[in-house]
Amino acid sequence: MQLMGRPYRNLVREMTWSQFAVRDQNSVLGLVWSFLHPAVMVGVLFAYFRANAGKDVKHYGIYLLFGMIHYTHFSNTTSGAMNCLHGMAQLTRHTVLPKEVLVISSVIAASMEFAVSIGFCVLLAWFSGIHLSFAVLALPLVLALQIVFALWVSFLLATIRVFVKDLNHIYQVFLRLLFFTTPIFYAAAFLRSPFAQRLLHFNLLAQLIGFSRSLVIGGTQFPVAFFLALWAFHGLALALAFLLFKYCESGFAEYV
Amino acid sequence: MSERDLVIRLRNVSKRFPKGDRRRSLLRTLLGRARGEQNSESTFAALNDIELDVASGDRVALIGNNGAGKSTLLRVVAGLHRPTSGSVQVKGEMTLLAGLGVGMVDELKVEHNIFLYGAMHGIAREDMRGHLDEILDWAELRDFRHATLKTLSTGMRSRLAFSVTRYFRSDIFLFDEALTAGDKDFREKCAEIFTGYARAGRTMLVASHDLKFVERHCTHALWLRRGCRIGFGPVAEVMSLYNPAEPK
């Protein structure tokens, strides 16, 4: 099944659809939950935090929401994809299909909610009086970059998870740390230590959140050159993570 | 048998598995690396120096008691298991059927499972859609098109999965007991399909305990015992020597 050939794309599409469709299937509203969940999450967080926090941050509610949505997507997607080879053990052990399809479809299925949430957030920004410029049209590029980021991390985690059984627990601790060290509910200026500020430059999730906020809320100039450099970095990281995954693939059926 | 006709070629293939769980915690992995520990865990041989040549169109039965290495051999050929030593060469697209319906999703409708199962074996939804009615008819499930898979009995699921497999277009099929499961009627239906595959010149490796099935449908047999090759040749020849009641 040639990479990116028709059967391959067809398989990714079917696997993505099936993962997306079975989510919340046991509930009365079925698929609607997939969209309702991020919508409710965004709505509640917006209403609550606008009234109570962020006095020093312009449009704090929207600022917070972009941070939460980016973080939630990254956290949910990578955690889900990390376990997908085990979660679909029958496929990992007993089928000849290219195993990266399981990771890719898991990431895409989880990213659908992300796209809807970001769209909803832009609408909220507009309703709340933020003047949206044409720069918003570049937002899909930021979303795509975040998905590429989540994808290469997912390839890496899914590979290591096969051989290291406690990675799940370790990663949950890492995600908790990431939440507090990323400017999600506070502004970057809140970190007064120069060391913490420097460290922030290496926080890839913080960069993406910053891009989204910059395009929608404004206030800071969008760093085009840096954005393109990040695309190159994530592209390279994706290629390397994918190669590692393929190198280890022949061991998956035995270990899972 | 000329080299050109060979589609599967195994040379001195051995496969060893560890006796315990190989997955370690991160701490143990890192400490092991730091101390330069070698992998000294005890293993057992699932396959021992297996040699096998399969020509295009051959239908080879893998016979032997449980634990003989039949399923492992199929997985090594399929590339799911890397051999510990030896070489495996395979020419052509492969389909491994290790249990019918592997990958189908309980919560999805029968119709969507057909598309999903087809996609897993390289068939696009658009192509599968054209065969949908025929697939459901063959499986006797026309009235269940919009039912969720979990409402179907095991027999119905097997019929559905096998009905879809009739449209797989691989050069080589690897069956792990998949054809010999189910009741008498199902086996008869499967036998018809298997005959069709044979007429179409498909190459097959079939792990089976059903000796009647083997004698009726296979051209060659490979007899395995505790991972070793005991005999290989025309099916009648191997079957005349084979005694399934032999001690393990």
Domain locations in chain A as residue ranges: 6-255
Residue of B23, B28, B44, B149 to mutate for A, most A C-beta atoms under 10 A: B23
Task: Please spell the DSSP secondary structure of A79-134, one letter per residue.
Answer: HHHHTHHHHTHHHHHH--S-THHHHHHHHHHHHHHHHHHHHHHHHHHHHTT----G
Range B197-215 average pLDDT: 88
A202: Cβ contacts below 8 Å, ≥ 6 apart: none
**What is the 3-state secondary structure of chain B?**
CCHHHEEEEEEEEEEEEECCCCCECHHHHHHHHHCCCCCCCCEEEEEEEEEEEEECCCEEEEECCCCCCHHHHHHHHHCCCCCCEEEEEECCCEEEECCCCCCCCCCCEHHHHHHHHHHHCCCCHHHHHCCHHHHHHHCCCHHHCCCEHHHCCHHHHHHHHHHHHCCCCCCEEEEECHHHCCCHHHHHHHHHHHHHHHHCCCEEEEECCCHHHHHHHCCEEEEEECCEEEEEEEHHHHHHHCCCCCCC
Look-up of token digits 């794309």 = A9
Edge-to-edge strand ranges of the sheet holding B59-63:
B85-90, B6-18, B43-55, B228-234, B220-225, B59-63, B203-207, B172-176, B94-97
Least confident piece of the model among A178-187, B24-33, B169-178: B24-33
User: Cα distance from A37 to chain B (closest Cα, Å)?
Assistant: 20
Number of Cβ within 10 Å of residue A31's Cβ equals 14
pLDDT in tens, B127-140: 999 999 999 999 89
Banded model confidence at residue B187, pLDDT cuts 50, 70, 90? confident
Measured in residues, chain A has a length of: 256
Q: Which residue(s) pair with B87 in the sheet?
A: B11
In this predicted structure, what is the pLDDT of residue A31? 57
Query: Which DSSP state fits A137?
Result: G
What are the CA-CA distances from residue A113 to residues A1, A231, B87, B170 (Å)? 29, 22, 46, 36
- The CA distance from B226 to A10, in Å, is 41
Residue of B22, B26, B115 to mutate for A, most A C-beta atoms under 10 A: B26
In this predicted structure, what is the pLDDT of residue A195? 86
B214: pLDDT strictly greater than 70: yes
User: Cα distance from B117 to chain A (closest Cα, Å)?
Assistant: 9
Both tokens of residue B57?
Answer: 């169109």
In this predicted structure, what is the pLDDT of residue A239? 98
Tell me, what amino acid is at B88?
A: V
In this predicted structure, what is the pLDDT of residue B40? 56
In this predicted structure, what is the pLDDT of residue B189? 78
pLDDT above 90 covers a percentage of chain B that reads: 46
**B102/B10: higher pLDDT:** B10
B168: pLDDT strictly greater than 70: yes
B12: pLDDT strictly greater than 90: yes
Banded model confidence at residue B34, pLDDT cuts 50, 70, 90? confident
Under an 8 A CB cutoff, do B103 and A90 touch? Answer: yes
**First-last CA distance in chain A:** 22
What are the CA-CA distances from residue B151 to residues A122, B107, B130, B146, B161 (Å)? 42, 9, 25, 11, 15
Structural contact between residues A2 and A94, judged by C-beta atoms closer than 8 angstroms: no
Residue of A96, A161, A247 to mutate for B, most B C-beta atoms under 10 A: A96
Q: Indicate the domain borders of chain B.
A: 3-93+204-241, 102-169
Tell me which fold the domain B3-93+204-241 belongs to: Rossmann fold (3.40.50)
Which residues in chain A show pLDDT less than 50?
none
- The CA distance from A60 to B164, in Å, is 55
* Mean of per-residue pLDDT scores for chain B: 86
Q: What is the ipTM of this complex?
A: 0.79
Map residue A222 onto helix, strand or coil: coil
A28 has a chain B CB within 8 A of its CB: no
pLDDT in tens, B54-83: 999 999 999 999 989 999 999 999 999 999
Banded model confidence at residue B154, pLDDT cuts 50, 70, 90? confident
Rg (CA), chain A: 19
Structural contact between residues A39 and B126, judged by C-beta atoms closer than 8 angstroms: no
For residue A19, the chain B residue with the least C-alpha distance is B105
Nearest to A94 among B26, B96, B124 (CB): B96
- The CA distance from B110 to B127, in Å, is 17
In this predicted structure, what is the pLDDT of residue A254? 85
B247: pLDDT strictly greater than 70: no
Banded model confidence at residue B200, pLDDT cuts 50, 70, 90? confident
Q: Which residue(s) pair with A252 in the sheet?
A: none
Q: Which residue(s) pair with B97 in the sheet?
A: B175
Both tokens of residue A10?
Answer: 């067809």
Structural contact between residues A93 and B72, judged by C-beta atoms closer than 8 angstroms: no
Both tokens of residue B78?
Answer: 């399929």
Number of Cβ within 10 Å of residue A47's Cβ equals 12
- The CA distance from A138 to A223, in Å, is 12
For residue A93, the chain B residue with the least C-alpha distance is B80
In this predicted structure, what is the pLDDT of residue B47? 95
